[in-house]
Amino acid sequence: MPLAAIIPAPHSPVEIREVSVPDLERDSALLDVELSEVCGTDVHVQAGRLAGVPYPLIPGHVSVGRLSRIRGEFFDVEGRAFREGDWVTFLDVHRTCNACWYCLVAKATTRCPRRKVYGITYGLDDGPSGGWAQQIYLKPGTRCIGLEVEPERFMAGGCALPTALHAVERGEVALADTVLVLGSGPVGINAIILALMRGALRVLCIGAPEHRLDAALQAGACAVLNIESKNEEERLEWILQQTNGRGADVCLEATGAPVAVVQAMRFTRDAGRVVIVGQYTDHGPLSAEAAFNPHLDLNKKHLHVRGCWGSDFSHFYRGTQIISDSSRSAPWSRLQANLSRYDLAHANEALADVASGRVLKALIEPSV
C-alpha cells in the first residue's frame, strides 16, 4: 500500500498514512508519482479556507510520474494510446460533464457544477487522488499528456503555468503592451514569462519578498517594486512614471490579497484590461479602507475587469507544449534554482515555507 501525506481536517497538521488502492475501473490507471507540489491553494485547504473540500484528503493537484498500471485504454488528445511505463502529467480537473448548461450553453467549463479537482475536491474516499502520495489513481476520463521534458523542469511551471496562461489569454495582451503583474508568487512569475512570450514589450511587477522579486527579474520583468517598501500612492506614482502617466495596458492580479483588486484597477490605464486571478480563497469582503469607487475606478476608466477561474485542458496543453520546447523553456530553467524539495515526511514544513513565502515553490517527492 502506497504512502501518502494527508490533511485530516481543517487546521490539522499533515499525517503520513498508508492508503489502499481501489480495484481499477475500466479505462483507468495508476500513476507512480515522481514529483508533486505545494501551492497556495494547499495552504488554504489546510487552513480550512476553501469551500467544498472533502476532508480527509491528499493534497497535490499537478503532478508528474509514470503510468505503472493501465486497465483498458488510456488515450491522449491525439488518440495515441498510453502504455505502462510512460511518463505523463495530467489535467487536475476531472469530470467537467459536457452535459450541463454551463458546459454546453455558456461554454464555461471551469464553472461546471460537476467539475472535480484532484487533490482539492477529491478526497481520500475517492481513492489516492492527490500528488502527495506514492501513487495516484487516475479515474476514467482523466486527461493525460505524455511528458517530453524532465520532471523538474515541468514542475518549475507546475499548476501556476496553466493558471497564468489562462490569465494572460484572458488579458488579451497585445504586441508592445506594457503589462503589470501584481504578486510575485508562482502564478505571478509565470504570468511575467507568458506575458512577455505573448508580446508584451515590458512587464512590471509589484510583490514581495526580495527573493521572489529577484525571481521576477530572472523571469524577465524590466522593473520590480517591493510592496512592503511603498504605500499605495507611491506604487501608483511608480507605475505612472513608467507608462507616460497612463498606467499599464494590462494588469494581471495574482496576489491573494483582496485590496489588490482595487489597486489593479487604479494601476491600469483607461480602457485597459484587468484580470483577477489571485482571489482563489474567500478572505471576506473588501475592507472600508480599500474604498472601491465605482465612478473613478471602473465606469469613467472604461475598464475591462475579468475574473479568471481555474483553467481547462487547452491551457494545460498549451502550457505543457511551451515548457517542453527547448526554444521556449529557458525562463523555467532559470527558475529551477528556486525550487525546494521535500519528502512526504516534511510536508508540514513545506506548507509552512510556502505559507510564509520563504520559498518560491515547494516540490514534494513522495518516493524518496
CB nearer to a second copy: pick between 74 and 342: 74
Q: How far is the CB of 253 from a second copy (least distance, A)?
A: 9
Q: How far apart are CA 245 and CA 346, in angstroms?
A: 48
Nearer to a second copy among residue 283 and residue 358 (C-beta): 283
Joined grid coordinates for residue 204: 512590471
| H or E segment to which residue 179 belongs | strand 178-182
DSSP symbol at 337: G
**SS3 assignment, position 191:** helix
Residue 157 C-beta: closest distance to a second copy, Å:
13
Distance, CA of 294 to CA of 52 (rounded, Å): 32
- Residue with Cβ nearer a second copy (127 or 256): 256
Task: CB nearer to a second copy: give 106 or 345.
Answer: 106
Q: How far is the CB of 318 from a second copy (least distance, A)?
A: 4
* Residue among 155 and 168 whose Cβ is closer to a second copy: 168
Indicate the residue type of 23: D
Among 343, 366, 340, CA closest to 39: 340
Using N-to-C axis directions, what is the helix angle for 160-170 and 313-323, rounded to 10°?
A: 110
CB of 251 within 8 A of CB of 204? no
* CB-facing half-sphere around the CA of 328: CA atoms within 13 A: 17
CA 6, chain centre distance (Å): 20
Phi, psi of 338 (to 5 degrees): -95, 5
Contact 288, 253 (CB under 8 A): no
- Please, what is the minimum distance in Å from the beta carbon of residue 296 to a second copy? 6
- By C-beta, is 195 or 344 nearer to a second copy? 195
**Minimal distance, residue 70 CB to a second copy, in Å:** 16
From the CB of 350, what's the least distance to a second copy, in Å?
24
Report in angstroms how near the CB of residue 111 gets to a second copy at its nearest.
4
Q: Report the residue number, 36 or 320, with the smaller CB distance to a second copy.
A: 320
